[in-house]
Chain A
Amino acid sequence: MVRSHVLICGGTGCTSSGSASIREALAEQLAANGLDEEIKIVQTGCFGLCALGPIMIVYPEGTFYSRVTVEDIPEIVSEHLLKGRIVDRLVYNKSDEAGEDAAAHELHTSLNDTDFYKKQKRVALRNCGVINPEKIDEYIAMDGYFALAKVLTEMSREDVVQTLLDSGLRGRGGAGFPTGLKWKFAMGSTGKKYVCCNADEGDPGAFMDRSILEGDPHAVIEAMAIAGYAIGADEGFIYVRAEYPIAVHRLEVALKQAREYGLLGKNIFGTDFCFDIQLRLGAGAFVCGEETALMTSIEGKRGEPRPRPPFPAVKGLFEKPTILNNVETYANIPQIILKGAEWFASMGTEKSKGTKVFALGGKITNTGLVEVPMGTTLREVVEEIGGGIPNGKKFKAAQTGGPSGGCIPASLIDTPIDYDNLIAIGSMMGSGGLIVMDEDTCMVDLAKFFLEFTVDESCGKCAPCRIGTVRMLELLNKITEGKGEMEDLDKLEELAKYIKSASLCGLGQTAPNPVLSTLRYFRDEYEAHIKEKRCPAGVCKKLLSFSIDPEKCKGCTMCARVCPAGAISGTVRSPHTIDTAKCLKCGACIEKCKFGAISKK
């Protein structure tokens, strides 16, 4: 008889910080203490608080241990599991969240008590970190496959599509197209059709799709079968990146189990409906997240986009009517079917219903995944859930939508986040990557980073994207090297306009966004680079010069010893000087100086 479950995160984040060896050590210790019959180890998907991994939760108490190591396991077993005494020192506490002194901490024994969780509303992520994703029975225990049963036995195809339309669900992959509408178009076509899932998550910093596939793969499979029924398709494809080995493995296991249970295959639930799903692995090209390129890649050809129309709902995969939805979109669908369109539509804002998962990254205390109702303000996400900016720095901006999106400056931190508000302020939802930046981030450098990414990832099929983005990058390089002229800003804007309007697919059409939005909100930084040849955040190396304050320098020689270029000279106990001609601007001296005598400007 099992009296306690120990959940250990098996997501990519925690796996890379060693959760697999923790699982083994725990199994060993449980066996050694004769507890293996009473206590069950459950490998789950991502809990969302990746910064604190590896994460372990002990039920029924719900005790939340963070940053667990193999060495901690004997203590957890002998104290907590054997004697019921919670190991306080491993329990997550507020000081971890805020990065404060541990003395002033407030102990949170349960995960649900933390600020990180309290404000969240988990719909797409509801099973992540709760069930074992490799056990179909656990998914069924959480009402899994009941939505499929409901549509097959009680609902007409039109009912299903109408429910989705009423729910107001919009595509979570980036563009925010109403999902029900997409299905309605495909339903209207005749003949062979396909259902596809876009799991080619490519935005730097976004990993919600991976987490859903790793933590709750059956939710996606169930939703695809529902889609198959609604549009009249009997075959589905999941296009997932080969760089997501854990997600691929869990999908394979889940597909096998679903087939064994007859939830995929012929005559599902004794009806006429037949449906099966195949996996296709992508090689990680960003452009393959674009729907036409993705389908071209599934067909076995080079992943390049093609003009639309015809839209996939008319002519998609293998030239047949196809719907393609993103992982997170699918993960919402079984819930909408079971709980109703009104339930879903009661969350969120007028035009953006439901919840959205954000991948918090960058200069933020709680790096991880959060799911909040649409319309939650950026301030709530960053300050309350995300725990604010570490090291007492100030919030400068947040980048949403990755390389296709834009930045939200501090002055707009109270903007409720939904599809339309983000577009209005020059950004976009994108897949939900949210990169937080503090005062040490140079916005010109940031724009350059994203543009470098799109230049690399441009497939090269159309000239505006292939050539235009390179020209823009050259201008940005010029500016960050201190060779920029004011006319370059006009050129950037002009190029951006043409690339946006003339590119073939979404990649090129959105590639200039990071430049345009930083120009809009941080034009003064561009101007400082050009007019004053200065980088206000102290990032652009070519514009920095290092100097030693002779008043503060004690002549300890530390800096001279670490300088890899031999640019620092001076004798013991007298102020040192930097030869700026030799200086590589690596910053090693600043890190070593105990007296704060070295500055970069």
Chain B
Amino acid sequence: MIETRQLTKRYGHLIAVNEINLSLKEGDVFGFIGPNGSGKTTTMRMIATLLAPDYGEAYVCGKSIYNDPREIRRLVGYMPDFFGVYDDMTVIEYLEFFASAYRINGPGRRKVCEDKLELVDMAFKRDAMVNQLSRGQTQRIGLARTLLHEPQVLLLDEPASGLDPRARIEIRNLLKKLGELKKTVIVSSHILPELADVCTRVGMIEKGNLIVDGYVDEVMRKARQQIMLQIRVKENMEKAAALLQKHDLVSNVDIVKGTIDATLKADTFDYSSIPTLLISEGFQLTLFREEEVNLETAFMSLTKGLVQ
């Protein structure tokens, strides 16, 4: 569906995007993660044919960004991180304007617009002036506009920014639905837990370089270089900690707020001997779990915090 080959963009000496290779299939929901200025928006804009790359190639549904930009625009719905709206129009006029621009004409046009308004839960603002909407409502209208022409590919740059918690959950559900409808979605966000829920794949970009790209489980696994166990015993916490410290699989032990944090040695995945040992030594376990690795911890562990 989307393929980029060594996609590169330079601004003078600054390399905004450096030889990015991506390959997304139909129905993939790809979470694009990276700090501000890392090159997410530039990559999206190049795929959307708004920006010409300096080097490399990108294909959307088999169409080249160089040869078929207009065909790509028909297939893609792009919602920028910040976009303007026509202040002097009503919501329905605004959507009808874009629907008409996408050649959706005839009596069905209004129905299409109203359906999309329903989809983003904005039907009650149908006749309101666009400039009277809140930031979150404007964002939803933007999303409705992006979906008007039923695009095969969606490029959503920070779609949840400015939305209240309820609207974020709705957007999350909408993204899931779009994935189920076999649409390919690239979505960037700073709110990583939300992406983890929605995305099938994630890519982490730093200083223009795509440092990680893969299915969510793979990325989590990559991030989890050392497993940390959280253990609580009923009595003799220090004694239990000392015992764990001597265990072959454990590299480090700390007691933090009444919990033993035991970090295992690298590449240790089978740690069943640890609870066995503690029980056999007479400790009563009240808690034994592996520290959860989420996208946030994965992002922190895989990136270096470099900003250009």
Q: A and B from one assembly? A: no
Contacts from A to B (Cβ < 8 Å): none
